[in-house]
Amino acid sequence: MTLQKNTEEKAYSYFELELTSEIHIFEGKFTPSKCNAEDLSICGKTSRKGDNMKQIIICLNEDGARKKASSIGRNVCGTCVSYLYESYE
Ligand SMILES: [Zn+2]
């Protein structure tokens, strides 16, 4: 019997704070149609429901989210990005 690890694939979405161009990552789960996302960013500092939040990209898997973070570069919140790497196994 194989033990199935309870690793439902997570979905990551990127939102940009328009005032500062700072980008935060939001974690969620894939749904049949798309994906959802937590209200709070991974770092806990930003709510995607706040004013001036612009959706950049949604529903990336973990690998895609990491690639996106490195392609966007320094505007992405470091705390959010480090989480992507910490959860990597
Ligand atoms: Zn952040």
Contacts for 59 with CB less than 8 Å, ≥ 6 apart: 11, 12, 13, 30, 34, 35
Its pTM surpasses 0.85: yes
Contact between residue 23 and residue 15 where contact means Cβ atoms under 8 Å apart: yes
pLDDT band for position 5 (50/70/90)? low
Cα 2 to ligand 1 centroid, rounded to whole Å: 37
Distance between CA atoms of residues 54 and 62, nearest Å: 21
Pick 8 or 25 by higher pLDDT. Answer: 25
pLDDT band for position 50 (50/70/90)? confident
Cα 33 to ligand 1 centroid, rounded to whole Å: 26
Would you say residue 87 has pLDDT above 70? Answer: no
Cα 15 to ligand 1 centroid, rounded to whole Å: 10
Pick 6 or 36 by higher pLDDT. Answer: 36
Q: What tokens appear for 27 in the block? A: 């974690």
Would you say residue 66 has pLDDT above 70? Answer: yes
